[in-house]
Amino acid sequence: MTLNGKHVAILGVGRSGRAAAALALREGAIVSAWDNAGIESFAGMPDAVEKHPNATEEDGRGLLADLLVVSPGIDTYGSYVAAFSANVSEVVGEVELASRYYDGRIVGITGTNGKTTTTEVIERILAHAGLGGTACGNYGTPFAEVVMQANPPEVVALELSSFQLETISTLHPTIAIWLNFAPDHMDRYPMVEAYRAAKLRIFENQNHQDTAVVRLGEFTPNLAANLVTFSTEDSSADWYSQGETIEHGGETWIDMYHDTGLRGLHNAENLMAALAACQTFGVDSQTMRAALSGYAPPPHRCELVRTLDGVEYLNDSKATNLHALESALRSQTRPVVLIAGGKEKGLDYASLVPLLVEKALSVVTFGQIARPLADIFSKVVNCEAVPSLAVAVATARSLAPRGSTILFSPGTSSFDQFNGYEQRGNTFRDLVHQLR
């Protein structure tokens, strides 16, 4: 694909947009950047880029370009993108653009939950094996930045959200990982089938020489790639774990408690997917164990913040959907006081009720959906709705007896009161450390 002399328009000027602009410039394109934000948001955009702040749909309808690169944060099917793409030859995302200039192999990772932990583990193992494995895409560095390195890695661990997969056309993962699927982002997709269809695009360019690593029992279409399965429920899978060891081919490859800092069935699944991918590149179990020594999961993912008065405080702010909340709650072995809540995303939380009966002593809800959640949960467990996270932490402490766990696993996004799950998790961590 040649961009020399072509007009490439960048829609959205965050980090991925800046990376796409720089790559397009390197390839000889004439580049413009558009965003509905003010000029201050264009900081860091290369000087050679023609900048268009406060861009409207009317501006978009007047755009003539050979290629439009859309930020994953902008609704691909919304009126804003429709306006900008009206007179454009092709619409892609930054990961698709970058893939066209990358000669190495791609491990693509998708799923509703667990993507980042899996991506980190793959990066760590492949780096230890001398294969690169740089984490990029939805986590880590934008793919375009990796492509522009003087010596790009032989393999990349490319985390792919549904938003990024909406805008691919030729992206070809040598290995495609499907971790799990549950309803999410129903504020963006008209129905759950549309969300699933976007994620399933990870497989569409694979062939019989490639590998698909899939959680056993997940619905996937007829795959052209070689199928490798993993499970914590069915020992007939290619990779199996009961939550303590990872078994493959009749052998124990990893002892989670001895070889890693990962705990719980959900992390066993993430780990198996990563190991299966790396084994495809010929990495042996000894190298994997050495790579995982000292590894701990990323922050905000069932992170132990503190033990106070015999009560554990776990920060699972990354649980931005119902499936993540269910996974965190199911993995607990102590009685739980759950803190949940945040933005209204149109999810159905009634399915959580049986698990609350089994695991929870009490629930504290907060944020925009505090009252709707309390109305559902209070039917089976003591539940208190409060306005803020600070009040939620104090309330949960008053409800948690010695030997229990206060699990902060919101089950929805943070944008009603915070600018992201990281700020939300950091706030929880700070509030817990302030307790006396």
Separation between Cα atoms, residue 410 and residue 388, nearest integer Å: 12
In this structure, are 17 and 112 located in the same domain?
no
Q: At what angle do helices 115-128 and 285-292 cross, to 10 degrees?
A: 110
Q: Residue 297 falls within a domain, yes or no?
A: no
Residue 152 φ then ψ, to 5°: -60, 150
Report whether pLDDT(355) > 70: yes
Rg (CA), the chain: 22
pLDDT bin (cut points 50, 70, 90) of residue 260 is confident
Residue 217 CB neighbour total at 10 angstroms:
11
Separation between Cα atoms, residue 9 and residue 24, nearest integer Å: 9
Q: Residue 298 falls within a domain, yes or no?
A: no
Report whether pLDDT(382) > 80: yes
Domain enclosing residue 210, as ranges:
102-292
**Mode of pairing for the β-strands spanning 50-52 and 105-110:** unpaired
What's the pLDDT at 222? Answer: 87
- Residue whose C-alpha is closest to residue 95's, from 212, 15, 31, 185: 15
Residue 304 CB neighbour total at 10 angstroms:
12
Residue 76 CB neighbour total at 10 angstroms:
20
In this structure, are 159 and 277 located in the same domain?
yes
Contact present, 337 and 359 (Cβ < 8 Å): no
In the residue annotation, 113 being an active-site residue is answered as no
Separation between Cα atoms, residue 64 and residue 67, nearest integer Å: 9
What's the pLDDT at 296? Answer: 78
pLDDT bin (cut points 50, 70, 90) of residue 324 is confident
Percent of the chain with pLDDT over 70: 98
Among the options 7, 51, 52, 115, which is catalytic? 115
In this structure, are 157 and 49 located in the same domain?
no
pLDDT bin (cut points 50, 70, 90) of residue 184 is low
For residue 23, give the amino acid letter.
L
pLDDT bin (cut points 50, 70, 90) of residue 134 is very high
Average pLDDT score over residue span 260-283: 91
In this structure, are 130 and 161 located in the same domain?
yes
Answer with the residue of higher pLDDT: 294 or 416.
Answer: 416
What's the pLDDT at 373? Answer: 95
Torsion 260-262-265-271 (CA) sign: negative
- Residue whose C-alpha is closest to residue 325's, from 389, 407, 409: 409
Q: Which of 101-105, 134-138, 195-199, 420-424 has the lowest mean pLDDT?
A: 195-199
Average pLDDT score over residue span 313-342: 90
CATH of residue 44's domain is 3.40.50.720
pLDDT bin (cut points 50, 70, 90) of residue 150 is very high
Report whether pLDDT(383) > 80: yes
Report whether pLDDT(186) > 90: no
In the residue annotation, 138 being an active-site residue is answered as yes
In the residue annotation, 115 being an active-site residue is answered as yes
What's the pLDDT at 187? Answer: 61
Report whether pLDDT(87) > 90: yes
Among the options 138, 180, 205, 321, which is catalytic? 138
pTM of this structure: 0.79
The helix (H) or strand (E) run that includes residue 147 is helix 143-147
Separation between Cα atoms, residue 317 and residue 415, nearest integer Å: 12
What's the pLDDT at 185? Answer: 60
In this structure, are 89 and 107 located in the same domain?
no
| Domains identified in the chain, total number | 3
In this structure, are 85 and 123 located in the same domain?
no
58, 93, 128 - which closes a domain: 93
Contact present, 405 and 335 (Cβ < 8 Å): yes
Report whether pLDDT(348) > 90: no
Residue given tokens 């992390």 in the structure block: 267
In this structure, are 262 and 314 located in the same domain?
no
In this structure, are 259 and 405 located in the same domain?
no
Q: Residue 367 falls within a domain, yes or no?
A: yes
Average pLDDT score over residue span 342-365: 92
| DSSP annotation string for 196-264 | HHHHHGGGTT--TTSEEEEETT------SSEEEEEESS-TTSSEEESSSEEEETTEEEEEHHHH-S--S
32, 63, 93 - which closes a domain: 93
In this structure, are 106 and 14 located in the same domain?
no
CATH of residue 385's domain is 3.90.190.20
What's the pLDDT at 390? Answer: 97
What's the pLDDT at 261? Answer: 77
Q: What is the mean pLDDT of the chain?
A: 93
234, 268, 292 - which closes a domain: 292
pLDDT bin (cut points 50, 70, 90) of residue 183 is low
In this structure, are 428 and 309 located in the same domain?
yes
What's the pLDDT at 301? Answer: 83
pLDDT bin (cut points 50, 70, 90) of residue 380 is very high
In this structure, are 324 and 230 located in the same domain?
no
The helix (H) or strand (E) run that includes residue 88 is strand 88-93
pLDDT digits 0-9 by tens, 197-216: 999 999 999 999 999 999 99
Contact present, 96 and 76 (Cβ < 8 Å): no
Among the options 185, 248, 300, 343, which is catalytic? 185
Answer with the residue of higher pLDDT: 219 or 282.
Answer: 282
Contacts of 225 (CB under 8 A, 6+ apart): 176, 203, 206, 207, 208, 210, 211, 212
3-state SS, residue 285: helix
CATH of residue 130's domain is 3.40.1190.10
What are the structure tokens assigned to 399, written together? 């409800």
Contact present, 137 and 160 (Cβ < 8 Å): yes
What's the pLDDT at 188? Answer: 67
Residue given tokens 């997940």 in the structure block: 218
Average pLDDT score over residue span 99-128: 95
For residue 122, give the amino acid letter.
I
In this structure, are 378 and 339 located in the same domain?
yes
